[in-house]
């Protein structure tokens, strides 16, 4: 799925217009927690396969698949990362996440971290946009210390990083990845240096539930597109979800060319091509 520069800039400007005030506030709250640099984490997982969990409707099925695989019996060979909303459900299933990424400036730690045992936070790193939710940053700071927190800024065509970098006196960037799940992929390839990344829960569409477990509140509000998914079923999606799926498919090829990282979508549902299609395309580009 291809994207035009006009399409990319339109989505970037929409996000900036909607969130600028909150992002400004969050930058000022997070700036004192910055103690790490990306260079301290470059290629630390070069020799590991990274398993990434987003929080689409396939999440529960995908968790069962991973629990039954050698990921859990050979943990020394794997690292596990997830998006913010998947952290608690994974910990509830006894899965220790190595890192979690929060990009949203408004995602609530009170809602999404309530009940998580401290040990799961102590043994994981938090990756946060510098204008991400400051209550997540504070939670990690209180329990695991600031050395467990890595910040980043998105570098995009409309130069958002030049607006918010000076506010937090912080300038380390990754590609603007359109959403939290895609940012997780970028960090795994570009910073952590993994050569093999497996994706789970990356649906970018939904039927009965919007999120991976039980929260269906958004499906009536945002399901404004009807698309055909990988299984040939009619599903609902949104402009942002569809854009993010396009972005991810393009990045899979970019990461192979730029970082020699093979990224395979094991969700096998939703809008992003599954493992078989991308394995064929990866072979073409290798």
Span 194-210, pLDDT tens digits: 999 999 999 998 887 66
Give yes or no for a contact between 224 and 257, defined as CB atoms under 8 angstroms apart.
Answer: no
Give yes or no for a contact between 282 and 35, defined as CB atoms under 8 angstroms apart.
Answer: no
Residues 6+ apart with CB under 8 A from 189: 197, 255, 259, 261, 263
Dihedral sign computed on CA atoms, order 79, 52, 273, 284: negative
C-alpha–C-alpha distance, residues 75 and 14, integer Å: 41
Q: Is the pLDDT of residue 281 over 70?
A: no
Give yes or no for a contact between 210 and 85, defined as CB atoms under 8 angstroms apart.
Answer: no
The count of other CB atoms within 10 Å of the CB of residue 277 is: 15
Alpha helix (H) residue ranges in the chain: 5-30, 59-67, 70-73, 87-92, 109-112, 118-122, 134-143, 160-168, 180-186, 219-222, 239-259, 275-285
Range name among 72-86, 217-231, 260-274 with the lowest pLDDT average: 217-231
Spell out the domain ranges in the chain: 5-203
Average pLDDT over residues 257-272: 89
Which carries the bigger pLDDT value, residue 174 or residue 281?
174
C-alpha–C-alpha distance, residues 157 and 5, integer Å: 9
Confidence of residue 275 (pLDDT cuts 50, 70, 90): low
Range name among 47-51, 153-157, 184-188, 217-221 with the lowest pLDDT average: 217-221
List, in sequence order, every residue forming a beta bridge with 178; answer none if it has no partner.
none
Backbone angles phi, psi at 252, to 5 degrees: -55, -40
Backbone angles phi, psi at 241, to 5 degrees: -60, -45
**Per-residue model confidence (pLDDT) at position 176:** 81
Strand arrangement, sheet containing 173-175: 173-175, 149-155, 125-129, 99-102, 78-83, 49-53, 196-200, 262-265
Instruction: Tell me the whole-structure pTM to 2 decimals.
Output: 0.88
Q: Is 275 helix (H, G, I), strand (E, B) or coil?
A: helix
C-alpha–C-alpha distance, residues 36 and 10, integer Å: 32
Confidence of residue 285 (pLDDT cuts 50, 70, 90): very low
Q: DSSP secondary-structure letter at 1?
A: -
């Amino acid at each position: 799925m291809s994207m035009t520069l006009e399409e990319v800039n339109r989505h970037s400007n929409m996000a900036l217009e909607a969130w600028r005030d909150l992002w400004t506030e969050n930058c000022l709250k997070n700036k004192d927690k910055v103690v790490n640099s990306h260079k301290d984490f470059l290629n630390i997982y070069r020799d590991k396969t990274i398993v990434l969990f987003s929080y689409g409707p396939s999440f529960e099925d995908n968790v069962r698949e991973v629990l039954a695989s050698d990921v859990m019996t050979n943990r020394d060979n794997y690292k596990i990362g997830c998006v913010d909303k998947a952290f608690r459900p994974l910990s509830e299933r006894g899965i220790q996440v190595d890192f979690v990424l929060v990009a949203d400036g408004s995602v609530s730690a009170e809602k999404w971290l309530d009940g998580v045992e401290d040990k799961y936070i102590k043994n994981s790193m938090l990756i946060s946009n510098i204008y991400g939710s400051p209550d997540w940053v504070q939670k990690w700071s209180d329990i695991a210390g600031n050395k467990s927190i890595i910040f980043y800024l998105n570098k995009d065509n409309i130069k958002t990083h030049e607006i918010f970098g000076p506010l937090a006196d912080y300038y380390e960037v990754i590609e603007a990845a359109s959403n939290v799940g895609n940012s997780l992929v970028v960090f795994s390839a570009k910073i952590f240096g993994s050569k093999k990344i497996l994706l789970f829960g990356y649906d970018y569409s939904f039927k009965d539930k919007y999120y991976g477990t039980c929260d269906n509140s958004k499906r009536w509000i945002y399901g404004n597109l009807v698309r055909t998914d990988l299984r040939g079923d009619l599903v609902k999606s949104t402009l942002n979800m569809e854009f993010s799926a396009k972005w991810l498919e393009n990045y899979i090829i970019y990461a192979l060319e730029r970082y020699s990282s093979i990224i395979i979508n094991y969700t096998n549902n939703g809008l992003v091509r599954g493992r078989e299609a991308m394995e064929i395309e990866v072979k073409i580009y290798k």
